[in-house]
Structure 1
Amino acid sequence: MVSIKQIASDMGVSTATISNALTGKGRVSQELVTRIQTRAEELGYRPSIAARALKTGQTGILGLVMPDLTNPLFPRIAQTLSIQADKRKLGILIADSRGSADEQSEALRRLLDRGVDGLIVVPQKGTTPDPMPVPVAVLNTASDPGNSVSADHSGGGALVARHILDIGHRKVVILGGDQVSEVQRDRIAGMTDALPSDIGVDVFWGDAGVEKSVAMVQTGATAIMTTSDLIALQVRTELMRTQISVPDQVSLTGFDDMSFSSIMHPALTTVAQNVDEIASRAIDIISAKISGNMPDHEGETVPMQLVVRQSTSIPNHIFSRRPPR
């Protein structure tokens, strides 16, 4: 492994100059910093985490706890956080709490044992991470008092509800997965708040809610809005089983714009998180906390984006009222 001494000897400067150029400390001209960084990269230099920890008390490693890596959304968030950390020359250790509050606590402790400088937590629904001896950034939702940064889940709910309203639906079903989830409650609150009082709205939860939602379509509901693309996929399967056509007989929406949403048949209208912006802000917040500074904009939410595809359309009864051309 190439050392600072070897780089110094190669370039004919002191080890102190090399160290300052590579750590951003000391008074070294930008031209020389660039030359040193380029040469260090050419020689294959990699800083020693152990040496850095001894010198600065920090490892340059963050811990990330995710609630369930079998959900397609969470690996995408983890990857984006890792990319943003890489840009700041930070590493990330990832732990999966696998749907368990107890495992979440254990995962946090395991990461602490590995000497992480700070923790980023996407908490289990209905939980608050244990107090930690290192800085923590929480990615959850606006209704969580401990939230550091998140998508504007309520605003996303309003976006999709206004879309359903604008294309003519007046009897709708809203379906959530788990009432314990702050994220799903905020999404449903955004939907219901955006709908006027003369709109017929029924809210259901869980697997039983899927069957109830389909039954409501059979009695006149023309749109089903769900709190996740996974739930929408489950509803689509049940609608196919009962031979109800999407969007001819009922419009269907999801949330999170997961990878399969665009290849469903029909392609799913959904709401997308700006994962890049959320990840960038999260890394900035935890980095500021580790440095002992007050983070900018902690607690703010990032706007979501409506993605309109083929699973939503004007209700059939509106088409039937249109005069022939």
Structure 2
Amino acid sequence: MGVSIKDVAKKAGVSVSTVSRVLNNGKYVTDETSEKVMKAVKLLGYRPNIIARGLRTKKTNSVGLIVPDITNEFFAKLAKTIEENLNNNNYSLLLCNSGENEDKERKYIKTLLDKFVDGIIFISSGYDQNMHLFPDDLPIIAIDRKPNAKRVNFISSENKKGGYLATKHLIENGCSKILMLKDRKAVSPMNARLEGYRDALREYNMLFDEDMIIESEVELEYVKEKILKIHKRLEFDGIFAGTDLLAIGAIKTLLKLGYKIPKDIQVIGFDNVLTSQYYNPGLTTIAQRLSEIGERSASLMVDLIENGVKNTESKSYFLPVELIKRDTTR
């Protein structure tokens, strides 16, 4: 049988209510008494029931985070930054990986609610059907992918501007036939990058051609298959890839086909993940401020929890992006 709060009280020579006040940062407890209680807690290895305490205090000091793919460097770095910043504010993180699956996402939302988390940060799998599960009085923050829900706070990058900057860079470096390689999932950041691509073409009086929009899964084998199919069918001298992983997959395939990068075909990615910085040739890309997105998400969540701001007062935040010139463009 585990150690109870009564055992702690007996060891410290105080009442159960005094132990409870100490553990819940209550008032009217001397430093000496508090020290005795905490010493007893440590000696006995007592762990308070967080859920039971949450039912009493309506606060568990825990936040849920749902990501679509924890193996993706982009989402992994976001999760790490969010966790570090929440920990600095005495909140623990419950991490869930939905695997881009609607049913798993629904299950994890329900699980987090059952654990009485104080708030949920999530990167949607793209299924707005799950939005009705979130209680109106629970702080909710969406990152990167914007759901169709007005009451959710949203933090992302200037994806449309990033798509514009990437395409403009290729045009100004002599590209006249620019392919856009995009993730097949119709998520909001990818759609915004496509809008930016179209804006740049329009600004330079270049026609938009649907055939130049190629959709693929991000895994290398799928990108390779797409490039092998189109490199003879379509004529192109530039590729704007919606993610760095798509860009690297395209470059690896083109190099094996005998193309020279950037002499024959220039390529630019999006995200500036660590892989893009060490890949050879160095990938020109659009950098997102991942650390800042994570920090902003954590600090906003703490503010929503501790100041009782409701989701009806939700806001959207878009962080700047930056072109990073490396070796895959001229």
TM-score normalised by L of structure 1: 0.77
2:176 corresponds, among 170, 180, 184, to 170
Alignment of 1:139 with 2:140, yes or no, is: no
Question: By how many angstroms is 1:90 displaced?
Answer: 0.5
Q: Output the CA distance in 1 between the equivalents of 2:198 and 2:26.
A: 53
C-alpha separation in 1, matches of 2:108 and 2:196: 32
Pick aligned residue for 1:287 from 289, 302, 310: 302
Q: Deviations over 1:271-314 (max 9, x none)?
A: 1221222122222333343342157872121112221111111x
Q: Is the 8 A contact 1:151 1:304 kept in 2?
A: yes
Superposed counterparts of 1:40-55, under 5 Å: 49-50=50-51, 52-55=53-56
1:77 maps to which residue? 78
Do the aligned residues in 2 keep the contact of 1:176 with 1:226 (CA within 8 Å)? yes
Aligned pair count?
308
Mark the runs of 5 or more structure 2 residues left unpaired by the alignment.
30-34, 217-224
Cα drift, residue 123 of structure 1 = 0.5
Do the aligned partners of residues 142 and 302 (structure 1) sit closer, same or farther apart at CA in structure 2, a change above 3 Å counting? farther
Deviation at 1:266, TM superposition (A): 0.7
Amino acid at match of 2:265: V
Question: TM-score, with normalisation over the residues of structure 2?
Answer: 0.76
Task: Note the 1:1-325 alignment, pairs <5 A.
Answer: 49-50=50-51, 52-127=53-128, 129-134=130-135, 135=138, 136-141=140-145, 144-145=148-149, 146=152, 148-195=154-201, 196-202=203-209, 203-207=212-216, 209-211=226-228, 214-215=231-232, 219=235, 221-291=236-306, 292-294=308-310, 298-313=315-330
Shift of 1:125: 3.0
Post-superposition offset of 1:55: 4.2
Partner in structure 1 of residue 222 of structure 2: none
Distance 2:261 2:178 in 1: 14
Deviation at 1:201, TM superposition (A): 4.6
Evaluate the alpha carbon distance shift between residue 185 and residue 116 of structure 1 in structure 2; reply closer, same or farther with a 3 A threshold: same
Contact 2:243 2:271 in 1 (8 A): yes
User: Any idea what the Cα deviations from partners look like across 1:11-68, whole Å, max 9, x if unmatched?
Assistant: xxxx99999999787699xxxxxx9xxx9xx999987635742542111111111111
Which range is displaced more, 93-102 or 107-116? 107-116
Percent identical residues: 26
* Cα distance change, pair 301–128 in 1 and its aligned pair in 2 (3 A): farther
Match of 2:219 in 1: none
Contact map agreement 2:68 2:99 (CA 8 A) in 1: yes
Counterpart Cα distance in 2 of 1:147 and 1:154: 19
Counterpart position of 2:221:
none
Secondary structure of 2:250's partner? helix
Query: Residues 150-196 of structure 1: CA distance to partner in whole angstroms, max 9, x if unpaired?
Result: 12211221221222233232321111121522221111111221232
